Structures are given as structure tokens and as C-alpha cells.
Structure 1
Amino acid sequence: MIAKKVLLVGNFGVGKTSLIRQFVLNEFSEDYISTIGVRVSTKIVNLNDEQIKLLIWDVAGTKDDEKVPKAYFLGASAAMYVFDLNREETYLNLKNQLETVRELSGLKDILLVGNKKDLLTLNEINQVKKIVEIPIDLITSAKENENVEDAFAILAKQSLK
């Protein structure tokens, strides 16, 4: 079995912890508990007849002007940037945010995930897609467990590159 460090990053309150809880524990809570610093969860996934132990680093959310310690990013094999489909301020500056993650982590490909699909209509989601200047890799709902497994499967694949 191989272990891979993967990161979940993005603004505060976008649902990073909820995505991880849904993936690792199959549970969802409406209660918002802010992550302080970083929280590490693990889950073993099977990919191409190989077991991978994902060390999932839930990096505390920030505002655009706050800096995340570079040490959190060191040694990461893959990263997912999560934004809230329902909060414009979390996706207006995505190009710069992703560039910062690339610089800090040294990773080329960052998985871009729009979360909280359950709060919007299909028409509203399409409007968000028009506003976001770069392709969104996946639209998820931690609450309804929609595309959560897929997001982490893609992350696991990226960690092997």
C-alpha cells in the first residue's frame, strides 16, 4: 500500500470539511465548525488494483488576503480547490487562487470543485459556470453526497501522476 498526501483548500465555509466527512465517514452535518490550521483524515481507496492510503489534509479556509503556511503544502501529491457555488466571493478570483496553490505546492494540476450544488437550481449553476473564467472539473453536494466519491477518485488518480 502506498500513502499519498492530498490537500483540500479554498475559502472558509465552502464545504471542504463536509466533503471530507461525507467521503471518509459517510455523514453530513449542518453545523458549521471552522477548521483551525489543518486537520488530517485518512481513507484507503482502491485504484487500478492498488490500495492507496489517502492522507487528506483539510487546510483551514482563508480570505483572499490571508496567507496559508507553505509547510501545509509541502509533499502534497494532489490538491482539490473547493469553492461555494452559492457565494460569489469564493469564485471571482479563482485564477489567482489556483496559481497561489500551484506555487505553494509545486503541483501543476489542481482539481477545481464547485460545492453546495443542492442550494442552487440548474439554471443558477449554469450562470456560475459562465462567470467562472476557467473550467470547473466537478460540481458536488456534500449534503446530498453527489459526486463526492468521484471527486476523491480523481484526486487519488492525480496523486499517482
Structure 2
Amino acid sequence: MIAKKVLLVGNFGVGKTSLIRRFVTNEFSEDYISTIGVRISKKEVQYNEQIVKLLIWDVAGTSGNEKIPKAYFLGANAAMYVFDLSREETYIALEENLKMVKELSGLQNITLIGNKKDLLTSEELIAVKNKITVPIDLITSAKDDENVEDAFTLLTAESLK
């Protein structure tokens, strides 16, 4: 078995903790609990006939201008940047935020996830996608358990590169 450190980063309230909870325990809660610092979860997954132990670092969200401690990023094998499809302030500066995560982590590729699809109509979703200038890897809903497993499969694959 191999262990891989993976990060979930993004603004506060975008659903990082909800995605992790859905993936690790298949639970969802409407209650918002702000992550302070970092919370680490573990889950073993099978990928290409390998057992991979994911050490999932849920990094506290920011409102954009606060600095995340570089120590959280050290030794990361992959990172997922999560934004909230229903809140423009979480995706307005995606290019700069992805660049910052790449610089802090030393990673070349960051998995980009748009979460909270359940809060938008299909027309609103199209409008949001048209505003975003970087490629989105997946659109998810932790609440509806849509594409959550796929998002972590992408993250696992990236961690093994």
C-alpha cells in the first residue's frame, strides 16, 4: 500500500469539508462548521490494482487575501481546488488562486472542482461555465453525491503521477 498526501483548498464555505465527508463516510450535513487550520481524514481506495491510502488535508478556507501556511503544502502529492458555483467571489480569481497553490505546493497540475451544482439551474450553470476561463475538471454536488467519487478518483490518479 502507498500513502499519498492530497490537499483540498479553496475559499471558505465552498464545500471542501462536505466533499471529504461525503467521500470518506458517505454522509452530508447542511450544518456549516468552519475548518480552523487543517483537518486530516484518511481513506483507502483501490486504483489500477493498487491500494492507495489517501491522507486528505482539508485546508481551512480563506476569503481570498489571507495567506495559507506553506507548511500545509509541503510533501503534497496532489491538490484539489474547490470553488462554489453559486458564489462568484469564489471563482472570480481562479487563475491567480491556482497559480498560488502551484507555487506553494510545487505541483504542476491542480484538480479544479466546481461544487454545489444542486444550487443552480442548468441555465445558471451554463452561465457560470461561460464566465470561467480555466478548464474545470468536474462539477460536483456533495449534497446530491454527484461526481464526488469521480473527483477523488481524479485526485488519486494525479497523486500517483
Partner of 1:99: 99
Shift of 1:131: 0.4
Shift of 1:57: 0.1
Partner of 2:157: 157
* TM-score, normalisation: structure 2: 0.99
Letter in 2 for 1:99: K
Alignment of 1:29-44 (within 5 A): 29-44=29-44
- Unpaired segments ≥5 residues, structure 1: none
Letter in 1 for 2:142: A
* TM-score, normalisation: structure 1: 0.99
Alignment of 1:7-46 (within 5 A): 7-46=7-46
CA distance in 1, matches of 2:89, 2:48: 38
Partner of 1:143, secondary structure, is: coil
Cα deviation per residue 1:106-147 (whole Å; 9 max; x = unaligned)? 000000000000000111111011101111110000000000
How many aligned residue pairs are there? Answer: 161
Alignment of 1:1-161 (within 5 A): 1-161=1-161
Cα deviation per residue 1:6-51 (whole Å; 9 max; x = unaligned)? 0000000000000000000000000000000000000000001100
Letter in 1 for 2:22: Q
Q: What is the percent sequence identity of the aligned residues? A: 71
Partner of 1:126, secondary structure, is: helix
CA distance in 1, matches of 2:100, 2:135: 17
Please give the root-mean-square deviation of Cα atoms over the aligned residues, in Å: 0.3
Shift of 1:64: 1.1
CA distance in 1, matches of 2:128, 2:89: 12
Cα deviation per residue 1:53-91 (whole Å; 9 max; x = unaligned)? 000000000011100000000000000000000000000
